[in-house]
Amino acid sequence: MTPAPAFGTYEFAGRKELCLCPSTPLAHRVMLVPPLFDEMNRMRRMLVGVLEALEGLSVGGFLPDLPGTNESQVALDRVTLSDWQDAMAACARQHGISHIASFRGGVLTVSGLNAANHWIFTPAKGAAILRTMLRTKVAADRESGLNTSIADLTIRAGKAPLELAGNIIGSELFAQLDAADIPTFESQNVVRLESDNKPSDRQITGSALWLRAEPDDDPAMSLAIGRDIAEWVKQ
Amino acid sequence: MQNEVDLTPEAAVRAVMRDILGLSAEQVSEFTADTELFGALPELDSMAVAGLLTELEDRLDIVIDDDEVDGELFETFGNLVAFAEMKVTE
């Protein structure tokens, strides 16, 4: 049986943040960068499954928390995209990472790490992630009799922290995400689902868990991603 | 890198419905213009609808405004396909 990942940490801004680590030290190492906001919750179990699959293939997978999310002690409304980028750089440095696998909007938090090798799963730009959350807010407001619009909310987000689908997003994080395009790296592999018509280097059979109403699991997808990443890391 | 494959609006709507509802290609291929959506499919809540609209924008390279979205749009699969077809010709 594959051992469960160990609870490790990395240090950022004088605090320890959670980082799931391999249960034994392994020579090959890869950092998995989670998606943002609700997409992270919906894919968490699948990503932990990837860590387990990687360990079974003798590759050490590291899954850090982004400050302000999951177990982090920092309030999300004080976090900026620059903080996330600095945090992921710190985690990569502290754990000796040269290979980074990012999921969805996670790629926006490693855009400055050009020296690393990147494996990128269904990347999403910041504006699209915000747009979905803004739409959810508009729909919820309409149900409670308020007539808001994406344009109104965008203006409000520029002045004060805005609650979107349960996440309190500060003005700077909102503005930085809104402007954050999908980066390209010198060494990169873009990986997508078979059902996706966008350009990719490789395709994987699996489910678009980030679009689902509830968090779900897909063990076959975890294994397929684990195998693909392990092959790429060992090249 | 493989090139982008152009999708017809109907194929894009089917693919997004499949991804959001976690259905197989076969199940989604059974959707007809009269298939009821919002209210008939419990997975299709307001958050899923928000994701669906953003995915359609992304896959069909269109922009959907707030005031174009109403309950009628999600009544049936046919309504949604007709809307997508109208948007790509704009």
Q: What is the pLDDT of residue A47?
A: 97
Of A102, A140, A144, the closest CA to residue A121 belongs to: A102
Looking at the predicted structure, is the pLDDT value of residue B5 above 80?
Answer: no
How many CA atoms lie within 13 Å of A98's alpha carbon, on the beta-carbon side? 8
Mean of the per-residue pLDDT values of chain B:
88
User: Does the model's ipTM exceed the 0.95 cut?
Assistant: no
Shortest CB distance from A138 goes to which of B2, B43, B66? B66
State the nearest Cα–Cα gap between B34 and chain A, in angstroms: 23
Residue type for A138, please? V
State the nearest Cα–Cα gap between A42 and chain B, in angstroms: 12
Sequence-distant (≥ 6) Cβ neighbours of residue B33 within 8 angstroms: B76, B77, B78, B81
pLDDT digits (tens, 9 = 90+) for A24-38: 999 999 999 999 999
Q: What is the pLDDT of residue A186?
A: 96
User: Beta-carbon neighbour count of residue A89 at 10 Å?
Assistant: 17
Q: What is the dihedral of CA A63, A66, A70, A75, to 10 degrees?
A: 160
User: What span, in angstroms and rounded, lies between the C-alpha atoms of B30 and B17?
Assistant: 12
Question: Cα angle vertex A46, ends A43, A48, to 5°?
Answer: 110
| Residues from A in contact with B at Cβ < 8 Å | 38, 128, 131-133, 135-136, 138-140, 143, 149-151, 165, 190, 193, 195, 197-201, 207-208, 211-213, 216
pTM: 0.94
A213 versus B55: the higher-pLDDT residue is: B55
Sequence-distant (≥ 6) Cβ neighbours of residue A189 within 8 angstroms: A118, A119, A120, A201, A202, A232
Average pLDDT, integer, range A127-138: 94
User: What span, in angstroms and rounded, lies between the C-alpha atoms of A137 and A148?
Assistant: 9
A149 versus B4: the higher-pLDDT residue is: A149
User: What span, in angstroms and rounded, lies between the C-alpha atoms of A167 and A162?
Assistant: 8
CA-based nearest residue in chain A for residue B8: A197
Sequence-distant (≥ 6) Cβ neighbours of residue A90 within 8 angstroms: A10, A11, A12
Q: What is the pLDDT of residue A170?
A: 97
Could you tell me the pLDDT band of residue A124, with boundaries at 50, 70 and 90? very high
List all residues of chain B from 12 to 41 with a beta carbon under 8 Å from chain A. Answer: 12, 15-16, 18-20, 22, 25
DSSP state of A162: E
Q: What is the pLDDT of residue B90?
A: 84
Average pLDDT, integer, range A186-204: 93
